[in-house]
Structure formats: C-alpha cells, structure tokens
Structure 1
Amino acid sequence: MINFNKISSFIVASVVTVGVTAAHAQTAAPENPAMQIYREVPKKINDLVHTKLDVRFDYKKRYMYGKEWVTLKPHFYPTDSLRLDAKGMNLKTIAVVKNGKNIPLKFTYQDSSSVAIQLDKVYHNNESYTIYIDYTAKPNELKSHGSAAITDDKGLYFINPDGTEKDKPTQIWTQGETESSSAWFPTIDKPSQKTTEEISMTVPSKYVTLSNGRLASQKTNADGTRTDTWKQELPHSPYLFMMAVGDFKIYKDKWRNKEVSYYLEPKYAPYAKEIFGFTPEVIEFYSKTLGVDYPWYKYSQIVVRDYVSGAMENTSATLHGEYVQATPRELIDAYYNNGRSTIVHELFHQWFGDYVTAESWSNLTVNESFANFSETIWAEHKYGKDAGDDHNYGDMQSYLRSPGANTKNLVRFNYADKEEVFDVVTYQKGGRILNMLRNYLGDAAFYKGLNIYLKTNAFKNGEAQQLRLAFEEASGLDLNWYFNQWYYGAGHPILDISYKWDNATKTETVYLQQNQDGQTFKLPMAVDIYAGGTKTRHKVWMNSKTDSLTFKLSAKPDLVNVDADKILLVKKNDKKTLDEYVFQYFNAPQYLDRFEAIDAAADKQTEKGAQKVLIAALKDKYYGLRIKAIKALNMTNDDVRNAAQPVLAYLAQTDDNTLVRAAAITTLGKLKAQGNMNLFKQALNSQSYAVQAAALTAINLLDPAQALQVGKGLEKDNAGVLTTALINVYAGSGTSAQWPFVFQHFHDASVQSKFNNLQKFAEMTGRVDKPAYTQQGIAEIKDLAIKYKSYGVDKPAIKFLTDIKAQRVQLKDDASAKAADEAIQLITDAK
C-alpha cells in the first residue's frame, strides 16, 4: 500500500499564506486510553484453507449478492465454534456442507461486524470442514472509518454505477487493507491467515474483470451477462483478495513465460507501454536480487477511478489510483515520479507483503519498509547511485520533518487504531533503516539474509525477529543491538560534529555529540580523511552520547568526512568550514557530499569558494543537484549573476533533463531581462509541459499582455504544471474571456491540484468583471471547503472568501458579496 493523500501539506502552506495561526497544533493531545492497549497477534482458533465465492452485482442498489464456500480447520485445539468477520451484511443462510448437502447452523450476528457460528460438532486439527454462506454485501450502507492512509474502509466500491456522472466510467473495485475484505465476503480478516481462493464474478458482458491468480474460465449467459472464474491456487491473506469490473483495455506483456498485463481506461490504453512497460525489467531485477523468482501465476496492474489511497499490492493484481495514467507528453517530465516509484513499490510487495506477510499490523514494517526500500534500490539500479541516494535522503527528510514521528517505535504493539501504523515511521524511516543495514552488512550478506527470510517463511507470515534471525544467519553477526535500537525503540540521533587540528602534535580530533533526549544510539560509520592528495578510510563506532576520534596525520587534512557513506539516519549539525565544503564538493564522491556543499555555498554567496561550488554545480552530473544549484543562486549578486547567466542560458536550451531546463528558464525569467525573450519563446516549442510552463511564466513577468496571447495558444494541450501556469497568468491579468478555461480546469482538477491553485483561483474569482462568474467561483470554493473541512481547508477558504467579498463590495456587486457571506456561513456551520 502506498498513500498519496497530501492534503495536510496544503494546509501547512495555506496557513502560512493566509496568516492563520497554527499555535493550537503545538498543544499536547490528551492521553488516549487506547494507546495503553497491547495489540497482540490475533489468536488462531480456526485456520482458513480455501475460499470460494460466487458473486453478482446490483448496480442500482449498490449491493453485491454473494454465495461463499469457506473451508477451514482448527488451528490446534479442538473446537465446535467459528467466528467470522462480516461487516454490514444481510446473512441469509449459514450451513455446513455434508455429503453435498447444506445443513443449517445456528449463528449470532454481533454488531453487524462479526458472526459467531455454532458448528455441528467438535472438529480437530486433522479434519477440515466447509461452511456455506448466502449473503448480501451492502458497502454503501456501512459507516466509514477511514484514515490518513486509507480514506475509506467500505471494502467494495461502485463507481458511477448509474452512468450519470459525465466523463466518468462505470467501475467496481475492492480495497481490502487493512481489514475491509470482510465488508464483501465473510472471512477471518487478519493478515496472519492464509487461504487459496476461487472467485466467480457474473457481470454485464461488455465489461472485463480482474482478480487474483489466473482466469480459469469464462461463460456467456443468456441474460447478457458473463461469468468469469478466477483461481488463486497459492495461499495469501484475505486483505489481498481483489476484484475489479469495468470498461478496461488490456495490454498484454510478459516476463519470462508469465503474463504481465496492464488494464487501463480506453483513453489511456494507447500509452500502456509508456506507463507500465518497464514492469518486466523490474520483475527481473527483483527476482535476481532476492534469489527468489516472482512467485505468482501472473502480474496485472489496473488503474481505477476514485481510489481511496495511492495503490494496493493485491496478490498478482495491483490496483492503482488514476494518477499513474499519463500521456507520453506528461511522462516526459516524470523521471522517477508520476507513479513510477509507486509501480516498483507495489511490485516489491509481491514478495514482502504477499509471499511473506506481516504477522500483525504491529509488524507492518516487514511489508511497507521493504516496499519503501525497494524504491531506492530500483532508482539506484536504473538511474544511478545518485538517484538512489536522492530518493533515500528524501525519505529520511520526510520522516525528520514529521511532527511526533520521533516518539514512535517502528514495531508498535500499542496504538489507538491499526491505521496509525501506516505512517512515515513505517514507510520512510523503515526504508532508511534497511538501507543503513545494507550498508553495514554489505550487499552480499544483506541480500542473502532477505533470501533466507523469504524462503523460510514462504506463503506464511513473518515479523521483525524472523528478519533479524535471517540476517544473523547470513552474516554471522549478532544484530540484537540493531533491532532493539531501530525496530523496538523510537527516535533518531541528533548529532553535532566539530573538528580541531593540533599543529604541534599533528593530531586531528573529531568531537561527536548526540543531543537527543532518551536513548544513546550506537552508530557504526565510515570516516574518510583527505590529506596530501590521498583518501584514507577508517571504520569507527560511536557508542556513547559524547565521543571523540583522534587521528595522527603528517599535515592538516583538507577534509574529514564523518559518515562518509552518508547513510546514517540522523539529524546532523556538521561544523565544517566553507573551504572544507568546497573541497568536499570537488573530491568526495557521494550525492550528499555535493548536496551538503551546495547548501553551505548557498548561504555564503559573497565568497569566491561558494561561487565556485554553485557555478560548478550547475553542471553537476546528477540533474537533481543541477536543479538545486539553480534554485540556490542569488542573482542579485553581480558576480554570481555574471558567472551563472550564460550557463543558465545554455542549460535552458540544451540540458537533456527537461526539469533542469525549466528551472533555468524560471531563474532567468525572474531577471526580467528583455534580451531573454527569444529564448523563452523558443522554449514554448518544447514538448515538455514543465519547460512550456516556465517559459510562459517568464514571458508573463516581462509582458503580461503577450503572455495572455501566448496562453491562448497553449490551451488546447495542457496538463499539470502548464495548467497551473495558465491559471496563474490568467488570474493575474486575465478577464472574463479567460474565466471559462480557469473555472473548468479548476473544477475538473484533482483534489491536490485544487489545493495548489486555490489562492490564484480565489484572486481571479474576486477580480473577474462578470458577477455570474464570481458566484461560480464562490460556490466552488465553498464546496471544496465543506468537503475537506476536517482537514482544515475551511480556514484559508473563509479568508479567501472574505477577501472576495471586500473586492465585490468595491465593485458594487452586492449579489456576489452576499453570496460570499452566505458561503462563509455555510462553511462555518458545516460539520
């Protein structure tokens, strides 16, 4: 599972923009009694063996009519009872199957969430039994309990079932994680359960279906429907069951002799290869790296509408939100974004999560930390070590910036709700911890450990202790210290590093100080010393909060590089001089060596050494650092500007990375130099939306009237950042002539895009000369604020509406001012 719910990031930005205080966020929350509950691994009284489903759908009622035959056996102790999770269902018949006959059983349905069944006899663990259930699932009548990671938990979703929503396809799909599969079939809905599966879906014949495993048969029915039967013949957990139904076009690829397929809306089907075509290459890389070939019958990926999270690793059938669908033009600027890192993340789950599954949600790290880790190793393999380090560092920063994350253990046996473990600790911190361990053990031992873990626990469950044992078996090293520190403890080191050279004794001393509260972290690290034209590596350990390292040298070193592999999970204050950072940029090899040097240079641009670093970094081998250097330039400094401007012009026209070209154009645009106008106009011919957006913005800074004319020509084919640039240009100087474009694109945009563009949209709403258009905009802002009030969107929306009211009063537009007042009141009253 990966989550792309970024609403909270918008709220932070909005609070800054509109000046609303966030002081209340610093108030300590009251102690939650649920946090004191120990979340044990669910008891196994009965084990799932096989689950057979026969389902059909009522599109009008949003019901699913199901028949189930679930085979179980006692786990160890004899039992005469069974409890199944079954959320919000109408349970018509529950029976035990004996000699082909259904013998009714007594059952009690408790709180519409679980059913207690009295079996016909006492069963022992050497005998199995099959229960038949006739039921109706009513997902739309369930009370949702969504979370930040998964915004809804009704399990089964009917999308535009009546076909009344314009430009939206009719679809059905499921979402099982964490425990929502039991909203569409009765089961023991725990990750510690494993079962084989057979699903028969009867659907309108015009639709295609997808489920786990293989398509075993298709039967055309006389009533215009078709019954597709899918069989998953290797065991997996109930939350990984999936179904999807709709008008999808299927592109069939392959890996070795296994089917790899991509299910897309017809509009995007021509681009299936561009979107997903690298999947077989990733399967091959993971199979070879892990020493365990892709374990399932096939691998499919499907893109659906209105998905409640980012993507979901259903066994052999990953489901993606629509954000991964893109045209070739949109993919020009994607690089490792626009869903590509998500694609590899979900694929790695087919081993870590599906093949071996976390025994409980407390141990979610053995699923999600590994999927996060996989994003780094694929970036490293495909795009180079700098790209991998960039991704890994970005993950660490996401964790370090997240309030309260330093108080949470990676393995958590206490939580208020299981959804809470889907966070930056489990994902980003967990992935960084695995990369640290890979560095400590070395690739060979690390991947041997993963191979042992996967083979030992194949088609079963795992937890962090089994992972530790596998790494210890592979490496021969005791790793209790590592797991106790990083898996069963919270936080991270806050490390101060300072240096002292004693010329009399020719001694370099490095002072290390951990300043975090709580535990002391044991930190193995590499220290590289550059002196006399050579580099010497020292492997050292920091074992206490205060430590010092001494090195006898023939002369003062040019650089002492602590954590030379730049792999530690640490918040660092490294007190190097600018000269040392300059040396580091040109001599130390890692992405973060250069990153840190650019940061240091950015703060001291009046100094020649800093200028030297920044100008050199404009041509860094890694595009991300070229962009970082471009954005860091202080173009008000004459020396910087004179040195950088010709390089920026060169990059803007020739760099092989479109994001670098866009960044260069953006920086040149801020100079408002008329001599660059031809360069900007030439950039409009680029196929890159990012380059076009930067060029349009630059032209707008020089000549807003000309930008309006240019914008008109870009309206026919725009997306993403180009759409945002058009809205910004039109919001600044456009008239009612541009309003229909702005309104329609804002209305049709994703939630995140609406948040990103809300301020500019509001500005144009207040300024446009037609009252009817203003009232259109007010209604749009009101609807957005009410829908996402729980995320705090109401506060910036009310501020924007207040500004709009003031503008309309000045324009003597009483009707719009009144509409703004009414919208504010509706937002305020909304619950």
Structure 2
Amino acid sequence: MTVNPYSPAGAARRVPQNYPVRLHKISAVMNNLYRLFYRPLTILLGVTIFAGHRAQAQSQTNDSSATAVQQQSMPLLEVHAGSDPLRDYRATAERITDLVDTRLDVRFDFAKRYLYGKEWVTLQPHFYPTDSLTLDAKGMDIHRVALLKNGRQVPLKYRYDSLQLHIQLDKTYTRDQRYTLYLDYTARPDELKMSGGSAAITSSKGLYFINPDGKDPYKPTEVWTQGESESSSVWFPTIDKPNQKTTEQITMTVPDEYTTLSNGMLISQKKNNDGTRTDTWKMKHPNSPYLFMMAAGPFSIVKDHWKNIPVNYYVEKAYAPYARAIFGHTPEMIGFYSDILGVPYQWSKYAQIVGRDYVSGAMENTTATLHGEFLYQTDRQMLDDDYRNESVIAHELFHHWFGDLVTTESWSNLTVNESFADFSEMLWAEHKYGQDLADQHSYEAMQDYFDFARSGKDHPLVNFYYADKEDVFDQVTYQKGGRVLNMLRNYVGKDAFFSALHQYLEQNKFKPAEAQQLRLAFEQVTGKDLSWFWNQWYYGEGYPKLDISYRYEDDLHLVRVIVRQTQSGRVFQLPFAIDIYAGGKKERHSVMMTERADTFTYHYRVRPDLVNVDGDKTLLTEKEDHKTVSNFVYQYHHAPLYLDRLEAIEGCAKAQSSSEAARQLLLDALKDKFEGLRSAAISHLDLKDETVRPAALPLLTNLALRDPKSSVRSDALQAITGDSATLSSHDELIQQALKDSSLRVESTALDAFSAYNPQQAYQWAKQHSREAEAPLTEVICAVLARYGDAADFPYVAMNFDRNGSFQKLAYTQPYLYMLAQVITATDTVKNGLDKTKDFAQELGPRYGAYVMSMLENFVTLKTRQADAAADDSQRTALREQAGYGQQAIAHLQKTLNK
C-alpha cells in the first residue's frame, strides 16, 4: 500500500522539497493559490497538519573514553499499555479455522451498486476441534448458507449481525477434516454504515463503483476493489485477517465490452446471450483475503513480459500510447529484485491497472497492483518526472516478496510489509539512478517521520497498542521502518543483509510472519545476537538526537570527538563510522555508542581537515554538528555522499552573510552534479542579502534558462521571482520561461507573471488553456478565477469535474472562489456546493477537513458579497447561497466525524 503522493499526507512524503508550485502538505499549487487568492484577500485555510512538539529535557552528560568500544546488549524493553481504554493489547487473530480455498462467482448491478455473489469456501480447523464457524461479512444480505455434502447442499443454521456470520456446522470437525460451504449473498458497499479509513486508505467500502450510471462525461464506468486492511469482507464472506491464506478462483460477469483483471491467470472467457461476458481468474498459490482483487472497465491492455512471465498494463485508451513510458521499467525491476533477494518472482503474472477515484496511492493486490489515477501522464508531463511515480511502482512490486509472498501475521507487525516496500524505493533508485537520488529519497522520508514524531503520535515500529488497526499505516511503519532497514543493512553489511532476507523469504513463503522471524533469519545468517537492535528499533519508540562537538589538542596531537544524546528518555545504542580526513587521506574508525555521552579520542600527525561522524550517513537521527565553515567547505568537496554535501550546504547557509568562504560554497553547490543538491543550494541562498544577491543572480538566471533538469530550472526561476517588488525587472526571463518545454517551469513562470502583470497573465492563461496539462492547468485555473469573469467559470468547473481523488484538491479553491465571487445564479452555486460536499465525503474525515475549510472561506466571501449588495432580491439570493454553504459544512461535520 502506498499513500497517494498527491494527497495532503503524501505531499510531504513524495514531493521533493524543491518542487516549485505546490500546496504545502496539500497539492502542487498552494504557492500559486496563496499568491492569487490568499495574499490579496488574506484568506487562510487554517488547517493544522501537525501540532505540538514534545518538550525535550536537557539530560546531564558525561564524557567517556572510546579506546576500547565494545558492543553491549541493551536491556529488554518492557512495553506497557497506556491508561487509554482504547489502547488494549492487539493480539494476532486467533486461528480457530483456516481458509483453504475460496471460489467466487459475482455479477455487478451498476444501477444499484450491488454485487450478487455466490461463494464456495473450503475450510478446516486449525488445531482444536470445532463445530462452528465465524466469517466476516460486512453489510450484506445473506440469502443462503449450506454445507456441500455428497453433491448436495445441506442448509445450516446461522446468525448474522451485519458484520459477522456465525454458522453452526453439522458436526464437530477435527484438524484433518475439510469441509466446503456454499453461500449466496448480496454485497451493498455504498450502504455500509462504517466507511472510515486511514492516512493511507481513505475509505473502507471494499468495493467501489465509479460513475456507475455513466452520467459523468469525464470518467469511464469502472468497478474495482480495495481489500486492505479488512475490507474484502464487504464483498465476500471470509475470515478477513492477514494471517489467513487461501487459494482462489474468481468468476466475474461483466458487460462484454469491459476488460477484467483479478489475481492469478485468466483461465476462461465465455460470451453470454445477454451482452455480457463471464471471465474466470484462478490463483494457484495461497493468498491473504485482503490481497484479493477485482477490476472491470473499458481498459486497454498494453503487454510486456519478464522472461516468460506476462507483465501487462491496464489503462484507459487515451493513455495506452504512454503506458510503456509510465510502467516501462517494471520488467527490469522484477529482475533486479529477484537477483538481490535470490528469490525469483514467485507469481504467474504481474499486472498493473490504474483506477479512477482510487482511495489511496496504490495497492499491492497479488499479481494485480491497483494504482491511483495520478500515475496517468503524457510524454510532456513525464518531462518533469522526479521519481515520485516510479517509486510507487517499485514500492508495490517489492510487496510481492514482502507482504504478498510473506505476509504480516497481524497489523501490529505491518512493518514486515510496509517498511520493506518503503525501503525498496531507495533500493531501486540506488540501482537505476545512483546513490545521490537514493540518499535524497531516504533523507526526505526520514524528515517526514521526524515531522510525524513531533506531532506526539510516535509509537514503536511493532505496535501492539493502537486504537484502530488503520492507525498503523503511518510514517512510523513506512518511513521510519524503511530507515531502520537501511541502518540494519549498513550494520551487518550488504551481503549478509540480502542473505538474511533470502533466508526469511524461503523459510516463510506463502505464510504469515512477524518481526521476530525476521530477527531469527538475520541471526542465523550473521551469527550475531541482534535482540538489542530489535528491542531498540522495532519494539522501542523514538529516535536519538545527537550533539557533536570537537576538541583539538595540538600539543598532544589529539582530537576528541564528543557525541551527546540529547533526546529525553532512553539512551540508544548506535553503531557508526567516524571518518578522519587529514593529509589528503581518509581514515575510518567504527565505533559503538552506548552511553548518554561518549568521547572518542584519536591521535593525529597532521591536524585533520575534517572529522565526519556517521561517515555512511545512515543513522536515523537529528544532528547538531558543530563544525566550522572550513570543515563544511572541505566536507562538501571531499566527502562523497549526498548528505555530506547537503550538511555542508546547510552549515554554510547559516554563515553566508558573514563568511566569504560560506557564500562561495553555496555558489559552488549551484553546479553540483546532482540536481537535488543544486535545488538545495538555491533554496538556501539569502537573496535579500546584498553580499549574496549580485553574485548569485547571474548563476540562477543561467540555471533557470539552461539547467537540464526542469526541477532546477523551476526552482531557480522561483528564487529569482520570490521578491514581489522586483518581479517586473525579470520580465524577459519570465517570458522565456513561459515557452519552456516543461509544464512545471511554465507553471512557475505564469505564477510570477500574474503577480506583476495580472491582465497579460490572464490573457496568456486564456490563450493556452485549451492545450494545457497539469500542473499548468492548476495555475491557469487560479489565474482565471482570480482575474476572470463568469465566461471563465466553465473551464475552471471542467477541471474540477474531470479530476478525481486528491488531484481535485488543486482545483477546489479556484472553483469555490468563483462560486463565491463571480457566480450569482443560485442553482449553479448550489450545484457546485453539492459537488464540493460530495468530494469532501469521498476524501473521508482525514482529508475532507481541507475541503471544509475551503467551504468556510466560501461562506465568508459570499456573506461579504451579500452584505455589500444594493439590491434586496440579490442580497436575499446571496444570503441563501451562503446559507447553503453553511448547511454543507454542517452536513460534513456530522457525517465526517460520526
């Protein structure tokens, strides 16, 4: 599972810090909306994403010698439940009965949004004899429950409470006896009363009908499923727990013009006399219920392969020409992951499909990954590729080893699924694009976790005390877990790391597993006792904060490296390298920190140019490193890693106003070999400083016009145009940028153009609106809404209507702004508010709050307009519209918070 990279939660994770015109934690256009709406009108969203910082106690420290550093086992960590009664211990689901085989035959009623299902499920007791069975079945109509016996159906007694089906069997069965039940049922997902979600998955309806009546001209009619975490039981009765495994066969009857996709292989197709077709998909390997998947709609299939395994891409016809460019690295990824793990891809096929209005980023349904529509891109949009989308593709594929092949036995242990998938994004970047991109991706993930931890929601990686299972789909399980694996790889070494992963996969394939089985595999391979690492990083909470200082004693030729842990609470055991650069050579010292403060002392002949703590830059930590400017300058030019250079850029940025060497380092970094660091240098330049600006502007102008990466061109242009007072002086540059091949650069240029010449920017937006693509359309809509009239509303409304999921957020504010300030026809306003309300409900409670805040702005603006109206009838109409907006807010407050 991947958080949508364009969602409020995903923006922080997926969008690099140098992404130009983006909503801060919301979407790619907040800067534009701020400039066009918020700054002139002082309208504020007022949505707080992270609140509160934990107070940090300054701990008393004492120095100790590191002449004989030795690994020490940390004490066993005791985890205690809190006082909150909701935070009970979350045990792994008891396996009373095991699923063996599941066969489904389903038909869809698009008008009612129903699924009519028949199921044949084979089960057997896990160990103890039992004469009863409980199946999860949420919000269904149960028509028949029967035992298949000697070729006939024997009705069974059952009790159904709308969530679970309690069945009395015909006798007591033992663990060596199997039985098969037949169930006839109707699934009604849209009538389900419980439809909450998580930061990763915004809804739990399980089965989704998209544009079922065909009335939306911008969307195809589709149906698809989303099983994680326990929503498959909305569309078929099952034991909906991740520690269950079953073979499966799914038969779907759909309109003949539709394409279907499910787990496993398509084994038969049959045309029916009523214009429908029946497809049967069969999965021969055991699969967990939450990984069951169906999809149907007017998809085109673009075929590919890895060795003799089909690798196919299911997309809308308009995107078929781009499918290989979007997904084209998938076969190479399969080969790469198969090789490094020593476990070849185990499944019969790999398909990827893009669904409209998807409720998350992507989902690793076994052999049939479902992606959100953000993955759709044209050739021009892909010019701005920044690894976000490709990292999602890598993430879901890696789940086919960690999550699908070996599945978490409980949601508490979700780290054995999601932490690996998160880590795989770094692995693929490292392999395909180099160490710098991999390290940047990892560093940004770590910062995302730190933001989450500061919110007060931190918890152990293996979390036995959550309030709701959806809560574990967060930055601890994903981003922190990925960084923990990166530390583990560094500590045991790459060969041992991948050998241990091979061992874990081979020992547990097609089975559920937990974090302790991962530890045992690592101990078997390395011969090391790693309980200290698991207790600290898997079962403990938090992360270390390091204060690093240096004391040079030239008379004794000694340097003392003083490392203090400043976090409150427990002390971490930290293995890391200290690299000493002196006389043109690097000398490495591997150490293990075990105290609140440790001093590591080294002898030198020539005073070191640099002492570099955490030489491999893998520690999950926040650091305050007291290097000098000269140290940072040396570090940038001689230490090789992305974080080495980034730390130098950040260190020199603090001294740029007073140090010529620091300023020069920032200017040098504008020419860094890696685009991410060129952008970092741009973002750290203080262009208000008159000692910085004259030297930086020519370099920035050159980057804005000529850098090979559109992200850097855009960032440079944004830096140059950041001062509103001087915008018009850069008109020539902005006009050139408006002709850039990159949509991203054009968006930044139009944003700047509108700030000093709104009328010409408006005309440019009108002229280019027809052929524009996102993200340029987002800025065009903002410009048209701010400076246009009612004739421009259809374009803004069209973009709001035709975009789904989180992409629609980028168009919601200009859409509501026009409804508030430009549109006065009550029917049009009410219709627009209804659409906005429906969108907020689709997003769910976590993200619907953003839309509610925008609706509050609408009410404020419409009320002001009503108060200023001279005509009584107009004033009445405007107040009615404001009242309708208030009703929408009240409705959302009630429905989203239920």
- Taking a change above 3 Å as real, the CA distance of residues 686 and 773 of structure 1, as seen in their structure-2 partners, is farther
**1:624-645 Cα deviation digits (max 9, x unpaired):** 1111212222223334222222
Q: Which SS does the other structure have where 1:107 is aligned? A: strand
Q: Give the Cα–Cα distance (whole angstroms) in 2 for the partners of residues 90 and 777 of structure 1.
A: 34
1:392 aligns with 2:442: yes
Report the alpha carbon displacement of residue 157 of structure 1 after superposing the two structures with TM: 1.6
Give the conservation status (yes or no) of the 8 Å contact 1:307–1:320: yes
The equivalent residue for 1:662 is: 714
Report the alpha carbon displacement of residue 814 of structure 1 after superposing the two structures with TM: 3.1
Report the alpha carbon displacement of residue 103 of structure 1 after superposing the two structures with TM: 1.8
**1:211-263 Cα deviation digits (max 9, x unpaired):** 10000111112222211111100111111111111111111110111101111
The equivalent residue for 1:640 is: 692
Q: 2:665 aligns with which of 604, 613, 627?
A: 613
Deviates more, 1:112-121 or 1:693-702: 693-702
The equivalent residue for 1:552 is: 603
| TM-score of the two chains, using structure 2 as the length reference | 0.87
The alignment covers a number of residue pairs equal to: 828
The equivalent residue for 2:333 is: 282
Give the conservation status (yes or no) of the 8 Å contact 2:264–2:367: yes
The equivalent residue for 1:725 is: 779
Which amino acid is 2:576 matched to? M
Q: Give the Cα–Cα distance (whole angstroms) in 2 for the partners of residues 130 and 821 of structure 1.
A: 59
Report the alpha carbon displacement of residue 745 of structure 1 after superposing the two structures with TM: 2.7
Q: 1:18 aligns with which of 15, 24, 44?
A: 44
Within-5 A mapping of 1:435-454: 435-454=486-505
Which amino acid is 1:2 matched to? T
- Taking a change above 3 Å as real, the CA distance of residues 359 and 743 of structure 1, as seen in their structure-2 partners, is same
Q: 1:431 aligns with which of 482, 503, 515?
A: 482
Q: Which SS does the other structure have where 2:678 is aligned? A: helix
1:228 aligns with 2:279: yes
Give the conservation status (yes or no) of the 8 Å contact 1:219–1:227: yes
1:741 aligns with 2:742: no
Q: Which SS does the other structure have where 1:420 is aligned? A: helix
Q: Give the Cα–Cα distance (whole angstroms) in 1 for the partners of residues 820 and 274 of structure 2.
A: 55
Deviates more, 1:694-703 or 1:113-122: 694-703
The equivalent residue for 2:584 is: 533
Q: Which SS does the other structure have where 2:318 is aligned? A: coil
Deviates more, 1:113-122 or 1:623-632: 113-122
**1:89-123 Cα deviation digits (max 9, x unpaired):** 222222222221222222222x2122222222222
- Taking a change above 3 Å as real, the CA distance of residues 548 and 805 of structure 1, as seen in their structure-2 partners, is same
Q: Which SS does the other structure have where 1:720 is aligned? A: coil
Higher relative contact order (CA 8 A, sep 6+): 2
Q: Which SS does the other structure have where 2:317 is aligned? A: coil
Q: Which SS does the other structure have where 1:393 is aligned? A: helix
Report the alpha carbon displacement of residue 669 of structure 1 after superposing the two structures with TM: 3.2
- Taking a change above 3 Å as real, the CA distance of residues 259 and 19 of structure 1, as seen in their structure-2 partners, is closer
Deviates more, 1:166-175 or 1:279-288: 166-175
Give the conservation status (yes or no) of the 8 Å contact 1:249–1:269: yes
Give the conservation status (yes or no) of the 8 Å contact 1:34–1:415: no
Give the conservation status (yes or no) of the 8 Å contact 1:666–1:697: no
Which amino acid is 1:113 matched to? L
Which amino acid is 1:492 matched to? Y
Give the conservation status (yes or no) of the 8 Å contact 2:703–2:713: yes
The equivalent residue for 2:61 is: none
The equivalent residue for 1:43 is: 94
Report the alpha carbon displacement of residue 706 of structure 1 after superposing the two structures with TM: 2.8
**1:406-439 Cα deviation digits (max 9, x unpaired):** 6401111122211111111100000010011011
Q: Give the Cα–Cα distance (whole angstroms) in 1 for the partners of residues 50 and 674 of structure 2.
A: 41
Q: Which SS does the other structure have where 1:472 is aligned? A: helix
Which amino acid is 2:669 matched to? A
Q: 1:365 aligns with which of 408, 415, 433?
A: 415
Report the alpha carbon displacement of residue 268 of structure 1 after superposing the two structures with TM: 1.4
Report the alpha carbon displacement of residue 47 of structure 1 after superposing the two structures with TM: 1.3
**1:724-767 Cα deviation digits (max 9, x unpaired):** 33234345544455444334334544464554565666666665
Report the alpha carbon displacement of residue 485 of structure 1 after superposing the two structures with TM: 0.3
Within-5 A mapping of 1:198-209: 198-209=249-260
Q: Give the Cα–Cα distance (whole angstroms) in 2 for the partners of residues 736 and 101 of structure 1.
A: 68
The equivalent residue for 2:59 is: none
Q: 1:147 aligns with which of 193, 197, 208?
A: 197
**1:116-156 Cα deviation digits (max 9, x unpaired):** 22222222222222111222222222112322222221211
Deviates more, 1:243-252 or 1:582-591: 582-591
Report the alpha carbon displacement of residue 828 of structure 1 after superposing the two structures with TM: 5.3
The equivalent residue for 2:7 is: 6
Which amino acid is 1:644 matched to? A
Q: 1:798 aligns with which of 856, 863, 876?
A: 856
**1:765-809 Cα deviation digits (max 9, x unpaired):** 665597789958984797479747945333454245324533564
Within-5 A mapping of 1:574-593: 574-593=625-644
**1:448-498 Cα deviation digits (max 9, x unpaired):** 000000001011111111101111112121111000000011111121111
The equivalent residue for 2:742 is: 688
Q: Which SS does the other structure have where 2:377 is aligned? A: coil
**1:679-714 Cα deviation digits (max 9, x unpaired):** 433333333101211232343345333323322232
The equivalent residue for 1:826 is: 887
Q: 1:137 aligns with which of 187, 192, 197?
A: 187
Q: Which SS does the other structure have where 2:223 is aligned? A: strand
- Taking a change above 3 Å as real, the CA distance of residues 610 and 780 of structure 1, as seen in their structure-2 partners, is farther
Unaligned 5+ segments in structure 2 are 12-22, 31-37, 55-80
Deviates more, 1:402-411 or 1:814-823: 814-823
Which amino acid is 1:18 matched to? L
Q: Give the Cα–Cα distance (whole angstroms) in 2 for the partners of residues 187 and 745 of structure 1.
A: 40
- Taking a change above 3 Å as real, the CA distance of residues 406 and 517 of structure 1, as seen in their structure-2 partners, is farther
Q: Give the Cα–Cα distance (whole angstroms) in 1 for the partners of residues 792 and 49 of structure 2.
A: 39
Which amino acid is 1:825 matched to? Q
- Taking a change above 3 Å as real, the CA distance of residues 68 and 761 of structure 1, as seen in their structure-2 partners, is closer
Give the conservation status (yes or no) of the 8 Å contact 1:685–1:692: yes
Q: Give the Cα–Cα distance (whole angstroms) in 1 for the partners of residues 246 and 399 of structure 2.
A: 18
Give the conservation status (yes or no) of the 8 Å contact 1:805–1:821: yes
Give the conservation status (yes or no) of the 8 Å contact 2:858–2:885: no
Give the conservation status (yes or no) of the 8 Å contact 2:821–2:861: no
Which amino acid is 1:134 matched to? D
- Taking a change above 3 Å as real, the CA distance of residues 24 and 135 of structure 1, as seen in their structure-2 partners, is closer
Q: 2:371 aligns with which of 313, 320, 324?
A: 320
Q: Give the Cα–Cα distance (whole angstroms) in 1 for the partners of residues 128 and 178 of structure 2.
A: 13
Q: Give the Cα–Cα distance (whole angstroms) in 1 for the partners of residues 323 and 832 of structure 2.
A: 39
The equivalent residue for 2:763 is: 709
Which amino acid is 2:44 matched to? V
1:162 aligns with 2:213: yes
Deviates more, 1:672-681 or 1:544-553: 672-681
The equivalent residue for 2:18 is: none
Q: Give the Cα–Cα distance (whole angstroms) in 2 for the partners of residues 62 and 181 of structure 1.
A: 16
- Taking a change above 3 Å as real, the CA distance of residues 186 and 807 of structure 1, as seen in their structure-2 partners, is closer
- Taking a change above 3 Å as real, the CA distance of residues 17 and 409 of structure 1, as seen in their structure-2 partners, is farther
Q: Give the Cα–Cα distance (whole angstroms) in 1 for the partners of residues 879 and 890 of structure 2.
A: 17
Within-5 A mapping of 1:458-497: 458-497=509-548
- Taking a change above 3 Å as real, the CA distance of residues 639 and 781 of structure 1, as seen in their structure-2 partners, is farther
Q: Give the Cα–Cα distance (whole angstroms) in 2 for the partners of residues 392 and 107 of structure 1.
A: 51
Q: Give the Cα–Cα distance (whole angstroms) in 2 for the partners of residues 538 and 468 of structure 1.
A: 27
**1:509-546 Cα deviation digits (max 9, x unpaired):** 12211122222100000111112222111101110111
The equivalent residue for 2:135 is: 84
